[in-house]
Chain A
Amino acid sequence: MTVYQVLNGATFAALLFVVASGFTLIFGLMRIINLAHGSIYLFGGYIGLTVALWTGSFTVAALAAVISMAVAGFALDQGLLRFGRSSERQQVLLTLGAGLMANDLALVIWGGDVFTVPVPAFLQGPLFFGGIVYPKYRLFVLLVGILILIGLWLLLQRTRLGILIRAGVDDVEMVEAMGIDIRRVFIQTFMLGCALAGLAGVLGGAFLTLYPTADVEILVYSLAVVIIGGQGSLIGAALGSLFVGMLATFGQVWFPELAYFVIFGPMAVLLAFRPLGLFGRARA
């Protein structure tokens, strides 16, 4: 039974990591929190759902969600956030307004029903190993989460974009002073973050289901991950996701009605000692 819960926690953590990794990179680099991130997740899920029902292919659905949400991220950054470049607070409030509108738009298009993204046949049903029976699909989500962690780590360590992101997280002015067009790095990161949220929408839509308040719930979890892990840190996001995923799962088992509070307690204790999170660093 406990192994089962640990697996539940780990698979939920994997999903959270996919959402929160983009969120934390955007936050760390651009100093803005994208409060439309939850809506991007939900929209990605809904678009994936529509495409999956239409084409019958999970892969095509995931691709559609990733691409459309990357484009949405581009539109959000270029079409809206450009009006608030002078202050980060202004940009955050703009994403908040955009999130409210997007959530309502989703309600208009898909209604208030609960949907589940269909999963391909080979991922359906349980897997038997070592005396445990566990849904294949959730293990698949865990695998995807781990692959994305590795992929992002390689991106940050081995590519030019990744080096620029890491440098930007530490000191944007210095990167600019070296002649780098930081705006391009910003927009690529923003699109990457939104694409990841879109992918998570499809992944999560298949086992957590999609419904109108799912965006806010996933946003709160992402906030908790970033608050615990610290902004702009991939390792922080991974550990934060694991922590929040486990707490949320065990919280739901032990105190079903107070699951939210179970996340809050440790978060508060952590904040009392490390206001910037486990891996957050103060800025110059």
Chain B
Amino acid sequence: MSKTATGAVLVATAVVLAFVPWWAPGYRTTLATEMLIFALLAMSIDILEGYAGRTTLCHGALFGVSAYVLLYHVVELSGSLWGGVVLGVIVSTVLAAIFAMLAVRTTGVYFLLLTLALGMIVWGVCLRWSTVTGGENGIRGRVRPEMLSDPSSFYYFVLIIFVVLAALMWRFVNSPFGRTLQGIRESESRMRTLGYNVHLHLFIGFVVSGFFAGVAGVLYGFFNNFVSPASVGLNQSVTGLLMTLVGGAGTLLGGLIGAIVIISLQVFVSEYTERWSMVLGLMFIVIIIFAPEGAIGKLRQLFAARVPRPASPSIRTK
């Protein structure tokens, strides 16, 4: 897409998003809020998936942990709200740093396996450490500020944060540093030969990505006023990854499309059947087989065959 076309799409998206409470009031505004929150999660995953070429399965855990910290701080410790928010994001970021230290030295499938195991440990701890996490029942309590209690003001609150964070992420992946991540995706050995500290760059990319997942998680805590082991579980990581893939890895804003598609589908499917996991698994398989380049990539392929595409993340040299 040319620069003007991208700009036009961005402006159109901004206009549509700005007026959601008008054209889709009430429950649908709430859904739109959820989509924005999950879009942030999907975009944070995309920093690693699409730009650094590392598939992560622990971001659901990083996302949910900040919600846990927020709710625990506010509900169980009666701490201040914004203290809980800051702590939640800090804990997610520190956890991301610990995970990153262990994971950045691995590549490909091994990276995926390790992040999966690390994320599952968070899930196991949240499930079993019931004196703190409430076990299977989770933690429930009003953490969303009073002034954000109606759907439309909460929507605008989330929208503003979404726009700011999306701009930051956009800036990050398109910065010279972001380019080095793409370089690592294409060829780790070449980047190392060029003198880059590959592990350090991946580490920073991972921590930044974890920070954004953490912020999204705090919003999720506000959104639900509730957190349970399911919030940090594998399904959460898989859902986030699926959103990234549906929107197209390496497009960043594709995460928004992915979140809109998946959450709409979830609402639609839930009306007919309780088998959401089944549909999620099926969607995952279908996307992996038929459209690994995602919805945006597929559309580009279909409508703009002559425009050169950015290198797909699946193309990697040893």
**CB pair B121 A261 closer than 8 Å:** yes
B175: CB under 8 A from chain A? no
Instruction: List the B residue with the shortest CB-CB distance to A257.
Output: B129
- B55 lies within 8 A of A93 (CB): yes
Q: Once the chains are docked, how many angstroms separate the CA of A210 from the CA of B41?
A: 33
Determine whether the beta carbon of B277 is less than 8 Å from that of A103. Answer: yes
Residues of A within 8 A of B98 (CB): 268
* A35 within 8 Å of B (CB atoms): yes
Q: Are A220 and B288 in contact (CB under 8 A)?
A: no
Q: Interface of chain A, helix or strand or loop or mixed? A: helix
A220 touches B120 (CB 8 A): yes
By the criterion CB–CB under 8 Å, are B277 and A100 in contact? yes
Taking the closest CB of chain A, its distance from the CB of B161, in whole angstroms, is 30
Interface residues of A in 211-259 (CB under 8 A from B): 216-217, 219-220, 223-224, 226-227, 231, 256-259
Interface-central residue, A27, A107, A227, by most chain B CB under 10 Å: A227
Residue in A31, A101, A226 whose beta carbon sits within 8 Å of that of B278 in the complex: A101
Contacts of B275 in A (CB 8 A): 104, 108
A32, A102, A264, A275: the one within 8 Å of B106 (CB): A275
- Out of B117, B120, B125, B288, name the residue touching A90 (CB < 8 Å): B288
Pick the interface stretch among B1-9, B107-115, B163-171, B257-265.
B107-115
- Cα separation A31 to B235 with both chains bound (whole Å): 24
Are B278 and A33 closer than 8 Å at their CB atoms?
no
Which residue from B106, B109, B234 sits with its C-beta under 8 Å from A92?
Answer: B109
Q: Which residue of B lies closest to A231 (CB)?
A: B110
Interface of B is mostly: helix
Contact with B along A89-119 (1 / 0, CB 8 A): 1101110111111111101100000000000
Q: How far in angstroms is the closest Cβ of chain B from A212?
A: 10
Interface 9-residue window, one of A80-88, A149-157, A164-172: A80-88
Asked if B124 contacts A101 (CB within 8 A), the reply is no
State the Cβ distance, A92 to closest chain B Cβ, in Å: 6
Partner of A100, one of B130, B284, B292: B284
B86 at the interface (CB under 8 A from A): no
Within 8 Å CB of A108, what residues of B?
A: 275
- For residue B122, give the distance in angstroms from its CB to the closest CB of chain A: 9
Is A32 a contact partner of B109 (Cβ separation < 8 A)?
yes
How close is A12's CB to chain B, nearest CB, in angstroms? 15
Q: Which residues of B contact A83 (CB under 8 A)?
A: 288-289
Closest residue of A by beta carbon distance from B131: A257
B200 to nearest A CB, angstroms? 16
Kindly list chain A residues whose C-beta atoms are within 8 Å of the C-beta of B238: 96, 100
Question: A258: which of B114, B120, B128, B234 is its contact (CB, 8 Å)?
Answer: B128
B282 contacts A220, C-beta separation under 8 Å: no
A271 within 8 A of partner (CB): yes
Docked complex Cα distance between A108 and B278 (Å): 10
- How far apart are the CA atoms of A92 and B114 in the complex, in Å? 13
Q: Is the CB of A268 within 8 A of B116?
A: no
A103: chain B residues at CB < 8 Å are 277
A227-B130 contact given A96-B284, A100-B277, A264-B121, CB 8 Å threshold: no
Query: Which residue from B108, B125, B131 sits with its C-beta under 8 Å from A88?
Result: B108
Instruction: Report yes or no: A84 in contact with B120, Cβ–Cβ below 8 A.
Output: no
Contact A84 B289 (CB under 8 A): yes
Flag whether A3 is at the interface (Cβ < 8 A). no
What is the bound-complex CA distance between A13 and B196, given in angstroms? 43
Docked-complex contact A89 and B285, CB < 8 angstroms: no
- Report if A226-B124 is in contact (Cβ < 8 Å); known contacts: A84-B288, A97-B288: no
Complex CA–CA separation, A72 to B112 (angstroms): 24
> How many residues in A have their beta carbons less than 8 Å from beta carbons of B?
51
Contact at A101–B121, with CB atoms within 8 Å?
no
Q: Which residues from chain B contact A223 at a C-beta distance below 8 Å? A: 113, 116-117, 120
Residue of A nearest to B286 (CB): A97
Considering the chains assembled together, what is the distance between the CA atoms of A108 and B273 in angstroms? 12
B105, CB-defined interface residue at 8 Å: yes
Given A98-B281, A259-B128, A89 and B121 contact (CB-CB distance below 8 Å):
no
CA distance A256 to B108 in the complex (A): 34
- Within A248-284, the residues touching B (CB, 8 Å) are 256-261, 263-264, 267-268, 271-272, 275-276
The CA-CA distance from A86 to B124 in the complex, in Å, is: 34
Chain B 113-143 interface mask (CB, 8 Å, partner A; 1/0) = 1101110110111001111000000000000
Chain B residues positioned under 8 Å from A219 (CB to CB): 120
Give the CA-CA distance A127 to B97 in the complex, in Å: 49
Query: How many angstroms between the C-alpha atoms of A97 and B238 in the bound complex?
Result: 9
B112:A33 contact, CB within 8 angstroms: yes
Chain B residue at minimal CB-CB distance from A216: B234
Nearest CB of chain A from residue B317's CB, rounded to whole Å: 13
Interface residues in chain B, defined as those with a beta carbon under 8 Å from any beta carbon in chain A? 55, 57, 98, 101-102, 105-106, 108-110, 112-114, 116-118, 120-121, 123-125, 128-131, 233-235, 238, 275, 277-278, 280-285, 288-289, 292, 314
Known: A100-B278, A101-B277, A104-B275. 12 other contacts (CB 8 A): A27-B109, A80-B285, A90-B292, A93-B55, A93-B288, A101-B278, A101-B281, A223-B116, A256-B128, A258-B129, A261-B121, A261-B125
Residue pairs across A and B with Cβ atoms less than 8 A apart, 30 shown, are: A27-B109, A31-B109, A33-B113, A35-B116, A88-B108, A89-B108, A89-B314, A93-B288, A96-B57, A97-B282, A97-B288, A98-B281, A100-B277, A101-B278, A101-B285, A103-B277, A104-B281, A216-B234, A220-B121, A220-B124, A223-B113, A227-B114, A256-B128, A257-B128, A257-B129, A259-B124, A260-B125, A260-B128, A261-B121, A264-B121
